[in-house]
A = this chain, B = another copy of it.
């Protein structure tokens, strides 16, 4: 890990350029694959860096954390402090979005080493001789210092030599002069760093805006936003829905693709192989005579209306996320203008998507092995550029794992270099290592297996994995209880308790979550067929009309949950999730704490939608900063009830027929000046 400042090899072994570099830097953490990929943080989030640093023998080391924005020359340095066991720590806080580089430098400090030894010297002669040695170091520091400081240090060096040489001055006095704190502080400002070691390579960090870490997504099909039954919805219809969606507390509004939809091989309702003439087709079958990935389906509105919608949404604190699906309907203009981007069969037809024996004749995948891959890459990137220019800053990328991985690293890197505030959500429901690779390549957030993690054990294992280990530095989960593709069996009976429980889990197990609505709040739950995870009459293939005024809508519950998320910083990050023991396999209990320790929330969720479940949860008061001998208040933010807890064991009872969960915030006991007790 260590290399030296100079870069010309002096010895046969090219890694050694100056043998006098004695400081060792053995591990700089965090890093993703040794710096091959960037660590992720958000603006304003402190970044603690540790390193193993030491040298031979007993000399004193000084260690600095170095960091800078990648495209700025100015390097900042923060002194690192020893934690013991040769581990050093410092932190810095990225204050602007963008790419940063950090590294560590360490050097054996002759002045500090001398001072440390001097402080332990007892022998008079030693003190006198060591003072002369120190005076040489001080004079060297003086030579490195600017005028005034240099003169002060030079005077000190001279005084020390004089005192040491004067038998009339007793050794104690000489030692005191040698150890002068103010002078030492001055000398430390001008250290001799010519033999400093530098960790290599510099490690990359991407600082995103806060929404990369904490976001609440709402997905809807604009074409179903019409209040009039079976009229094709428009951007204007969506505009009318904005107040309601914002009122529910979401901050990202995500649309499936809004582009012209292919007519050739168009699928009918419920994915029928043959479409009726009035069938609207799947938004993911992109491209037709009207245009492709940079065009808008005319039935939704104009580019002007889309821009207007973005602005109105912003007024409500809602950001619009677009779906980018890099695939083409057979009548996409690319097929004619860039035939080399597709794979052609010997019968002069384009190879449609297939996974034999399954065939998807309505979808033409791009051929990433095209000889014109440069042209293809440039065009695909320009799709993002187009929508960024229109004002879109968040993209949900459809099936990124079926496109060449190097493309994503290049495209996201290039786009974020120009627009560091753009965010990408990877919709890859695939094998773990593939999902992790996409996150490393630059995706800001990632879909997860949450939908298929249902039991207490599954949830505990999966979220322990997601919130710990090195992966937390690059993989940000975004949790969805449903999507237009996934109606999990658990939801298919439609019990409100199950919809509520899964919502609480999604919204509190991770800092980012989303729902596909209005299907979720209106508890859409019929599958296309028994055993299928597809929705019956799915919006993917037809218009739907939703009854927003349904008195059983979960909208009020969702509103409450999102309010709780906003109010509690503990729910804004993924780093501190702890599962709490509870003696009932149908109850999941867990706690999250904000980084500053001031906000502690405790969730207790009944996973059984049918039966009352009860049990005794263990919560160590000390672990949440509460004195074990004092009571503390648990304020259930869902029911607004307050409970006084004391000690470790607490009885819980959850009835799925009312609310299947508690979301407690811990209120610590405070004592005010007049000696009244109250809870914060």
Contacts and interface: CB of A to CB of B under 8 A. Distances in A.
Given A1-B36, A21-B406, A26-B33, 6 more contacts: A57-B402, A86-B432, A117-B356, A122-B356, A133-B346, A136-B346
Contact of A410 (B16, B346, B354): B16
Nearest to A161: B346
A368 B434 contact: no
Interface stretch (A5-13, A139-147, A546-554, A596-604): A5-13
A433 B58 contact: no
Contacts of A54: 431, 433-434, 437
Contacts of A122: 356-357
A401 interface: yes
A345 B409 contact: no
A132 B344 CA distance: 12
A22 B346 contact: no
A26 B374 CA distance: 24
Interface in A100-119: 108, 117-118
Contact of A356 (B16, B120, B402): B120
Contacts of A133: 345-346
Contacts of A374: 10-11, 19
Interface in A403-424: 403-407, 409-410, 413-414
A665 B19 CA distance: 51
A316 interface: no
B20 A132 contact: no
Nearest to A408: B56
B56 A369 contact: no
A123 interface: yes
A121 B368 contact: no
Interface in A1-44: 1, 10-13, 15-16, 19-22, 24, 26-27, 33-34, 36
B402 A19 contact: no
Given A20-B369, A54-B434, A356-B121, A12 B346 contact: no
A24 to B, nearest CB: 5
Nearest to A367: B20
A52 interface: yes
Q: What are the 6 closest A-B residue pairs judged by CB atoms, nearest first?
A: A34-B34, A120-B356, A132-B346, A19-B373, A86-B433, A57-B402
A363 B149 CA distance: 38
Contact of A406 (B16, B347, B405, B433): B16
A85 interface: yes
A357 B195 CA distance: 27
A20 B357 contact: no
A129 B348 CA distance: 10
A449 interface: no
A377 interface: yes
A129 B345 contact: yes
A117 B357 CA distance: 8
A195 B369 contact: yes
A658 interface: no
A126 interface: yes
Chain multiplicity (copies):
2
A57 to B, nearest CB: 5
B414 A13 contact: yes
Contacts of A56: 368, 401-405
A15 to B, nearest CB: 7
Contacts of A405: 22, 24, 55-56
A577 B186 CA distance: 54
Contacts of A406: 16, 19, 21-22
Given A368-B56, A433-B86, A357 B123 contact: yes
Interface in A352-403: 354-357, 365, 368-370, 373-374, 377, 401-403
A204 to B, nearest CB: 12
B1 A347 contact: no
A157 to B, nearest CB: 13
Contacts of A357: 120-123
A11 B410 contact: yes
Contacts of A34: 33-34
B373 A20 contact: yes
Contacts of A123: 357
B356 A126 contact: yes
B117 A24 contact: no
Given A19-B404, A22-B404, A86-B431, A409 B356 contact: no
A15 B132 contact: no
Contacts of A365: 57
Nearest to A440: B26
A396 to B, nearest CB: 18
B410 A22 contact: no
A56 B436 CA distance: 13
23 contacts: A1-B36, A13-B409, A15-B409, A16-B406, A19-B373, A19-B404, A20-B368, A22-B406, A24-B405, A24-B437, A26-B436, A33-B34, A54-B434, A56-B368, A56-B403, A85-B431, A85-B432, A86-B431, A108-B369, A117-B354, A117-B356, A126-B356, A136-B346
Nearest to A36: B1
Interface in A43-93: 52, 54-58, 85-87
Contacts of A16: 406, 409-410
A357 to B, nearest CB: 5
A354 to B, nearest CB: 8
Contact of A19 (B21, B27, B120, B410): B410
A127 B86 CA distance: 65
A623 to B, nearest CB: 24
Contacts of A117: 354, 356
A402 B22 CA distance: 10
